[in-house]
Structure 1
Amino acid sequence: MFDANTLVLVVDDMTTMRKIVIKSCRSMGLTKFLEAADGKLAMQALLNSEEKVGLIISDWNMPNMTGLEFLKAVRANEKYKNAPFLMLTAESETSQVKDAVMSGVDNYVLKPFTPASLKDKVEAVYKKRVGSAA
């Protein structure tokens, strides 16, 4: 299902969480990653990447630019407006989830999560975005 060459952008202000996400993605067969510690740095990484990012996995609560602000910036960018986007969050408030959905998030994973639950959500997001583009 996954192309091992899909470039994945992992965004979280906690290095340990980025490593956990990357390890989980590697177990799915994904091999190429960019990392960023906040939404502002992530947007710079997207815009400066020579290769197009094929999947974005971002935390919600980060300094400088939140995951929601980053999501809105991604959806406003012509190159990345349809990029598969998965939000990692401890936020379970209905209004916050609604904000993310209205802003174009494909799915979200509540923290803490298991590698299996992350895999299920990544597969669902990937099928939704890549499958609909085929």
Structure 2
Amino acid sequence: MADFDDKKNSATSKAIIFLVEDRSTQAELIVLLLNKIGFNKVRVFLDANSALEAFHDNPEAVDMIISDFNMPEMSGVDLLIAVRTSKFNNKVPFVVVSGIHNTNAALTASHHGADAFIAKPFDHYKLAEKIKPLLLHQSVSLT
């Protein structure tokens, strides 16, 4: 089980996370879960195109992307592919979340370079278990 005594840890308190979720109520819930485990710098995007534009504007300003799998216009996997083929910060940790509970969604995300896949619904323990190690192993210093 994840240790939550380190909420003020610099890796969590300084990390900037892009959260891409087309349903605002889901986005609010995920932000609350991220806050609960010490991530307070979360930028919410309700569509992948806006997130990609912000990423291209300043790719070094994001430490992790958490994106829904299934969204209108541009899916989370399409966003993942765009980030992974970018010239800058293309190794940024990328987590795909989905309400689709089958192995095809996870395999598709993994095939295109996702660092983790989390099936909805999830709690803060599961979220911490998946994302904290990714930031700890990230080559970009968060200090």
- What does residue 4 of structure 2 align with? none
Please report how far the alpha carbon of residue 50 of structure 1 lies from its aligned counterpart in structure 2 after TM superposition.
8.0
Equivalent AA in structure 2 for residue 97 of structure 1? A
CA distance in structure 2 between the aligned counterparts of 1:31 and 1:59, rounded to whole angstroms = 19
Choose from 56, 61, 73 the match for 2:65. Answer: 56
Q: Does 1:121 align with 2:135?
A: no
Q: Percent identity between the aligned chains?
A: 27
CA distance in structure 2 between the aligned counterparts of 1:106 and 1:23, rounded to whole angstroms = 22
Choose from 97, 115, 120 the match for 1:111. Answer: 120
CA distance in structure 2 between the aligned counterparts of 1:93 and 1:31, rounded to whole angstroms = 31
TM superposition score normalised by structure 1: 0.87
CA distance in structure 2 between the aligned counterparts of 1:114 and 1:26, rounded to whole angstroms = 12
Choose from 86, 89, 106 the match for 1:97. Answer: 106
- Following TM superposition, where does structure 1 have runs of at least 4 consecutive aligned residues deviating by more than 4 angstroms? none
Aligned ranges for residues 54-93 of structure 1 at < 5 Å?
54-93=63-102
User: What is the alpha-carbon root mean square deviation over aligned residues?
Assistant: 1.9
1:50/1:88 Cα in 2 relative to 1: closer, same or farther (>3 Å)?
closer
Please report how far the alpha carbon of residue 95 of structure 1 lies from its aligned counterpart in structure 2 after TM superposition.
2.7
Please report how far the alpha carbon of residue 96 of structure 1 lies from its aligned counterpart in structure 2 after TM superposition.
2.6
Q: Which has the higher contact order (CA 8 A, sep 6+)?
A: 2
TM superposition score normalised by structure 2: 0.82
Please report how far the alpha carbon of residue 3 of structure 1 lies from its aligned counterpart in structure 2 after TM superposition.
4.0
Equivalent AA in structure 2 for residue 21 of structure 1? I
Question: Where does the alignment leave 5 or more consecutive residues of structure 2 unmatched?
Answer: 1-8
**Residues 39-83 of structure 1: CA distance to partner in whole angstroms, max 9, x if unpaired?**
111101212348610011110011110001000001011213100
Question: Where does the alignment leave 5 or more consecutive residues of structure 1 unmatched?
Answer: none
Alignment partner of 1:4: what SS? helix
